[in-house]
Amino acid sequence: MSAPESGLTAAAKGNIELVETFRAEFDRSPSVLWSAPGRVNLIGEHVDYNGGRVLPFAIQHRCYVAAAGTSDGTVTIRSRQFPDETVRAAIADLKPGGSADPLGTRQPQGFGGWASYVFGVIWALGQVGVNVPPLDVIVDGRVPVGAGLSSSAALECAAVGAICEMAEADIDGPQRAAIAQWAENDFVGVPCGLMDQMASTCAHADHALLFDTYDQHSEQIPLAASVAGYEFLVIDTGAAHGLVDGEYARRRTACEDAARLLGVRFLREIADRGPDESDALLSGIGDTVLRRRASHVVSEIIRVDSAVDALKSGDWGRLGALMYASHRSLRDDFEVSSVQLDTAVEALLSAGALGARLTGAGFGGSVVALLEASRVESAAGAVTASFAAAGFVAPAACVAVASQGARREILDG
Ligand code: GLA
């Protein structure tokens, strides 16, 4: 099992390496360095585009963005993960739907067009009147890519922080998250909700972020699992996860169709009517698939509230039961699980987890489980054994540490 990227030492070492890479690539030091984390969602899945509440926490894996101004009129972006690629564009040429590489220097490989997340942020900042100067940028993405842990939100949110500082734009956390989401929706073309960017920007260490996507209210909920002898174990199934292939957008459209049928703007409004009335309304949806999609959303929104109560009262058994109920609903009604995710969840429960569920969009990616600390190693081993028996690629495991959202990093070295 991989150790968490531990504390200051590893992070500080990584920052020094990033500054050195910047100097080697661009012949001068960066003037700003920001980082932003990936996230694990504890519960509240596929509800952020339905006006629901979500309960993610930021994890210890972060993406780093270093930048300095340049006089050549363009933005040049490099990545420590893709050292052979240089992507360059003139700011005025950045348009949604356009190439991420308007000057045609070199198309980015892998990372799903990684540079377009940074270009999208520059474009979105321009739309809200921020005058972004020409820049040289280096990205160091240390959030596993394709694991459902929001590596893209981490990149966007670190980029927003760094570029706002370069542009001397004073923009608060929730607005920075919204700009990052706008970049992903309109520039990159993924119709995600706001959960990942809010977690990556606004989460506090040792807390989960309860974010209500209906009224944008957020509350920091203390996450004292390790104090109570529990840990959140994350299993990356290694099975590809991607949102651009249409399934995520199809789920979103189904929810919008169900809301329209029920005469509301968001399915959240059905959850607010209470269990009896919402059950009656849901059973009136004639189309079976739409009914099951809407049932997941409504029941999940109710589960988030119960999970917050469980966390506040230290009822870990109840939290675990809610996590597994969420997984079953995502598997059976929302149909976003996969055989690897289900295998991991069942292996974790057999190994004594109080609860386990897919986290993030699903269709591959990661599982989060709640376990007594003493069972973490053996449970991770049980998942590895069950994957080997099924002939799946070996999963990766780590204990998730609730970490701080986007921040300015100290530049030295
Ligand atoms: C992805 C999206 C989020 C959210 C989750 C599912 O992570 O980016 O906005 O919809 O899927 O809960």
Mean pLDDT of the residues in the chain:
92
Q: Is residue 1 part of a domain?
A: no
Question: Considering 136, 196, 236, 333, which one is annotated as catalytic?
Answer: 196
Contacts of 247 by beta carbon, 8 Å cutoff, 6+ apart: 336, 363
Confidence of residue 132 (pLDDT cuts 50, 70, 90): very high
Q: Are residues 228 and 286 part of one domain?
A: yes
Same-domain check for residues 283 and 337: yes
* Per-residue buried b or exposed e for 57-86, using 16+ beta carbons within 10 Å of the residue's own CB: bbbbbbbbbbbbebeeebbbbbbbebeebb
Minimal-distance CA residue to ligand 1 atom 11: 361
Contact between residue 55 and residue 304 where contact means Cβ atoms under 8 Å apart: yes
Is residue 3 domain-resident? Answer: no
The atom of ligand 1 lying closest to the CA of 41 is: 12
Q: Do 317 and 359 sit in the same domain of this protein?
A: yes
- Please tell me the total count of domains within the chain: 2
395, 381 in Cβ contact below 8 A? no
Rounded Cα–Cα distance for residues 19 and 32 (Å): 10
Q: How far is the CA of 48 from the centre of ligand 1 (A)?
A: 7
Rounded Cα–Cα distance for residues 28 and 272 (Å): 56
One domain for residues 215 and 230: no
Amino acid at position 83, single letter: P
Prediction pTM value: 0.94
Are 360 and 347 contacting, i.e. CB atoms less than 8 angstroms apart?
no
Q: Quick one: which atom of ligand 1 is closest to the CA of 150? A: 7
Q: What percentage of the chain has pLDDT greater than the value 90?
A: 85
Instruction: State how far the Cα of 196 lies from the Cα of 192, in Å rounded to an integer.
Output: 9
Pseudo-torsion of CA 152, 185, 165, 87, nearest 10°? Answer: 60
* Residue 196 annotated among the catalytic residues of the structure: yes
Based on the fold, state whether residues 214 and 229 are members of the same structural domain: no
Considering the domain architecture, whether residues 288 and 319 belong to the same structural domain is answered as yes
Residue 55 lies in a domain: yes
CATH number, domain containing residue 210: 3.30.230.10
Residue whose CB lies within 8 A of the most ligand 1 atoms, among 41, 45, 48, 303, for a mutation test: 48
The per-residue b/e assignment along 13-50, b for 16 or more CB within 10 angstroms, e otherwise, is ebbeebbebbbebbeeebbbbbbbbbbbbbbbbbbbbb
Assign residue 244 the CATH number of its domain: 3.30.70.890
User: How far does residue 151's CA lie from ligand 1's centre (Å)?
Assistant: 12
Q: Looking at ligand 1, which atom is closest to the CA of residue 152?
A: 8
Task: Please tell me the predicted confidence (pLDDT) of residue 112.
Answer: 41
pLDDT digits (tens, 9 = 90+) for 156-172: 999 999 999 999 999 99
Q: Considering only CA atoms, which residue is closest to atom 1 of ligand 1? A: 361
Note whether 188 and 316 are same-domain residues.
no
The pLDDT tens digits of the residues spanning 356-405 come to 999 999 999 999 999 999 999 999 999 999 999 999 999 999 999 999 99
Task: Decide if 2 is inside a domain.
Answer: no
Q: Is residue 413 part of a domain?
A: no
Residues 5, 61: Cα–Cα separation, whole Å: 7
Same domain, residue pair 265 and 211: no
148 C-alpha to center of ligand 1: Å?
9
The residue-averaged pLDDT of 128-144 equals 96
**How confident is the model over 188-243, as pLDDT tens digits?**
888 999 999 999 999 999 999 999 999 999 999 999 899 999 999 999 999 976 55
- Residue 235 and residue 215 share a domain: no
Q: Please list every protein residue whose CB sits less than 6 Å from any atom of ligand 1.
A: 41, 45-46, 48-49, 192-193, 195-196, 360-361
**Ligand 1 atom at shortest distance from the alpha carbon of 46:** 12
Look at 2-6, 38-42, 346-350 and tell me which has the smallest mean pLDDT. Answer: 2-6
Confidence of residue 100 (pLDDT cuts 50, 70, 90): very low
In this structure, is residue 78 part of a structural domain? yes
Residue with CA closest to ligand 1 atom 2: 192
How would residue 11 be classed by pLDDT, with cut points 50, 70 and 90? confident
Distance CA 185, CA 173 (A): 18
For residue 176, is it within any domain? Answer: yes
289 and 334 housed in the same domain: yes
Ligand 1 center from residue 72 Cα (angstroms)? 37
Q: Which atom of ligand 1 is nearest to the CA of 195?
A: 9
| pLDDT (0 to 100) of residue 243 | 56
Query: Domain limits at 115?
Result: 8-219+403-408
Tell me how many degrees the CA angle 237-143-308 measures, rounded to the nearest 5: 75
Token match 């040429």: residue? 93
pLDDT of residue 176: 98
Q: How far is the C-alpha of 211 from the C-alpha of 367, rounded, in Å?
A: 21
In a domain, 180, yes or no: yes
From first CA to last CA, the distance across the chain in angstroms is 31
For residue 7, is pLDDT > 60? no
One domain, residues 215 and 231: no
10 CB-contact burial (10 Å; exposed 0-12 / middle 13-18 / buried 19+): middle
Position 103 pLDDT exceeds 90? no
Cα of 192 vs centre of ligand 1, distance in Å, is 6
Q: What's the 357 CA to ligand 1 centre distance in angstroms?
A: 14
Q: What is the pLDDT of residues 237-275, one digit of tens each?
A: 999 765 546 899 999 999 999 999 999 999 999 999 999
Asked whether residue 176 falls in the same domain as residue 253, the answer is no
